[in-house]
Structure 1
Amino acid sequence: MTALRRLGATSLNVVGLLLAVVVLNFLLIQAAPGDPAQVIAGEMGGASPEIMAEIRTRYGLDRSVPEQLATYVGRVARGDLGYSFYFNEPVSRLILGQLPATAILVLTSLGFAVLAGAALGILSARRPHGLLSHAVSLVAIAGNAAPVFWTGLMLLVLFASVWPVLPVAGMSDVANPATGLAAILDVGRHLVLPALTLGIVYVAQYSRLMRTSMIDALQADYVRTARAKGLPERVVVGKHALRNALIPLVTMVGLQFGQLFAGAILVETVFAWPGLGRLTFESILRRDYPTLLGILFCSALLVITANIVTDLIYRLIDPRIRAGRTA
């Protein structure tokens, strides 16, 4: 019964949060300067006042803001994200078509950042005053100081002209399309630079955080007790210290999941990666409000899901959390 109550409370919180996100995003978009009808007419090469009035009526732009908001919230509640002004197709279809590419980029970057950052942090924590520890600190400072778009542009210049061994644009080779395993390898080659660009800054942050957490864990009493029992060092580090040191890292990953999507907008634009980032950029330029609102809604839904997954990972890492919630 306690689990059911907790599930019900979580569901209500999620619904309330999504409703707040939908309302706030809609009001912020409405407050932005510009007229979508003018943009649509501009794509047509101009329009008479009668055509402009017809465009506003067709897309519901002639209604008051409260009426538009009520209509939009009702559609979202039914799973309808609206119709794109610019692309002339349902927003949900647009998002589902671009989401896999962004998911591949974001998850690959996140996996690279977590694994590389955790490994560097653990290795440098074993010898806090060693050469590797100082090198990790320098890498962390440099990684935090370099903006994502600057890193992407530098890699683009390097691998486009100086050392052209990797593709620098797109998700696959359009001129020579491949199938089967060759297609997967082709996507992997195109993925290297965007994932590296998006992941570098987080490698810097996670390595520094993991180093600090691991140093604290290795100095804890339970680690001293484990060593006093004669346990091998790999067991002491891997089983006792690592699980506790991972909790701050998991927390940071959950909090920064939304930032990954924000960074993906710049990375996908630099490397012409066909994902939600490019779709967001084009929607902003075209003032395609339904598409932009749909992307923001789906992004919020993904961030909420990531936070729930983070909470579940806490319970897997630390048995005390499971015991405390059971009690």
Structure 2
Amino acid sequence: MPTLSRTARIAVRTGLHALPTALGIVIISFLLLQFAPGDAVDVLAGEAGSATAEGMAEMRARYGLDQPVLTQLWAYLSNLVHGNLGWSPRYNMPVTQLIWDRVPESLVLTGAALVLALIVGIGLGAVMAAREGRLTDRLLSVLSLVFYSVPAFWIGLMLIVLFSIKLGWLPSGGAGTIGSSATGVAALLDKLRYMVLPTISLSLFYIAIYARLARVSMIEAKGQDFVRTARAKGLSERRILFRHVLRNALLPVTTVAGMHVGGMLGGSVVIETIYGWPGLGRLAYEAVMGRDFTVLLGILLFSSLLVIVANALVDVLHSILDPRVGGSDAA
């Protein structure tokens, strides 16, 4: 029951913070996008190659792009209150439907990358902390520094060259075999084949961060009084490491992971473009290139809400790992 009470408090607090935060993000993003040159009508006219000035003016009037900025902002916020994210001139469909069609693919990719980064990063950090100062610690520290320093797009391209072109083991792009009629386990395995390279490309940077952070946190925790007490009780080093040290080291790692959700969504723009993954990142890139700012605003709003939810889940996890977190809230 105390855990449920802390979870309820966290949910209420998150809800109170989410509305003004999301509203502020929408307003600031809307105003900043007005400084971008051109609009969706300009791009559509350029692609058509035969648009007239009268036709372009009619299209701008249809989508409200000829109105003053504040009038457009008020109309957008009014639609937002009713759950309407607007209409996409480029795709000629509601933005809400367009985003929801891409959300599953983005959540699958970023979720897999985050889980992989946490498991591998924390595992490497535990090994480095257990082998502090030894050759294993130094080699893994250098490896994590390489992962941290190399740009994700370069890693993505090199993985394609190695595993797709040279070895032919994995597909170079897409989210599944085109025209495949596979179902069940066969469809899942086909999906996983296409996920391997983009997931690794997106997660390597975060693996390096979590590995180094877990190493530092565990080394610091090993010097605390509760660890010395556990040793005095005769507990094995392995049990002390996983039962006491690792649990306390998870607090800073999960905090940083919650903040990285937004960064992963931003990084997925590059990864999804390289691998042709049909997610929100690629949609955001297409929206920028097509000056479809209504779609871009919808993606920014959804991403901000996802980050808020992720941080709320991190708070709940902290209250489970360390009950003192919930107790401080109550005070």
- How far the C-alpha of 1:136 sits from its partner, in A, is 1.5
Give, in angstroms, the shift of residue 221 of structure 1: 1.1
Counterpart of 1:161 in structure 2 is 165
Unaligned ranges ≥5, structure 2: none
Deviation at 1:13, TM superposition (A): 1.8
Alpha-carbon distance in structure 1 between the residues aligned to 2:208 and 2:100: 32
Q: Displacement, 1:6? A: 6.7
Q: After superposition, where does 1:55-66 map in structure 2 within 5 Å? A: 55-66=59-70
Q: Which moved more, 1:2-11 or 1:44-53?
A: 2-11
Instruction: Tell me, in whole angstroms, the C-alpha distance in 2 between the residues paired with 1:8 and 1:105.
Output: 29
Q: Secondary structure at the match of 1:323?
A: helix
> 2:268 is matched by which residue type in structure 1?
A
Structure 1 regions of 5+ residues with no counterpart? none
Cα distance change, pair 127–19 in 1 and its aligned pair in 2 (3 A): same
Matching of residues 169-318 of structure 1 within 5 Å: 169-318=173-322
* In 2: Cα distance, 1:213 partner to 1:30 partner: 44
Q: CA deviation at 1:323?
A: 2.7
Q: Which amino acid aligns with 1:255?
A: M
Q: Is the CA contact (8 Å cut-off) linking 2:14 and 2:308 kept in structure 1?
A: no
Q: Deviations over 1:44-97 (max 9, x none)?
A: 333222212211110001110000000001111211111111111111111111
Secondary structure at the aligned position of 2:212 is classed as: helix
Partner amino acid for 1:237? L
Residue number in structure 1 paired with 2:138: 134
Contact 1:85/1:289 (CA < 8 Å) preserved in 2? Answer: no
Distance 2:110 2:169 in 1: 23
Question: So what's the TM-score if we normalise by structure 1?
Answer: 0.96
Structure 1 counterpart of 2:74, from 70, 73, 77: 70
TM-score by length of 2: 0.95
| Number of residue pairs aligned between Structure 1 and Structure 2 | 327
Mean Cα deviation higher: 174-183 or 84-93: 174-183
After the TM superposition, which of the residue ranges 241-250 and 230-239 deviates more from structure 2?
Answer: 230-239
Cα distance in 2, alignment partners of residues 5 and 89 from structure 1:
39
Instruction: Please give the alpha-carbon distance, in whole angstroms, between the structure 1 residues aligned to 2:240 and 2:16.
Output: 42
Are residue 105 (structure 1) and residue 92 (structure 2) matched? no
The reply to whether residue 122 of structure 1 matches residue 126 of structure 2 is yes
Distance in 2 (CA, whole Å) between partners of 1:203 and 1:221 is: 29
Instruction: Specify the alignment match of 2:151 in structure 1.
Output: 147
Please say if residues 25 and 293 of structure 1, whose CA atoms lie closer than 8 Å, have aligned partners that are also in contact. yes
Matched, 1:96 2:100: yes
Q: Distance in 1 between matches of 2:85 and 2:129?
A: 48
- Report the Cα distance in structure 1 between the residues aligned to 2:146 and 2:7, rounded to whole angstroms: 45
CA distance in 1, matches of 2:259, 2:7: 25
Deviation, 1:176, is 3.6
Q: Deviations along 1:266-317, whole A, 9 cap, x unmatched? A: 1111111111111111111111111111111111111111111111111011
Please list every run of at least 4 consecutive aligned residues from structure 1 whose deviation after the TM superposition is greater than 4 angstroms: 1-9
CA positional deviation for 1:109: 0.5
- Residues 188-225 of structure 1, C-alpha deviations (whole Å, 9 max, x = no match): 01100000000111111111110111111111111010
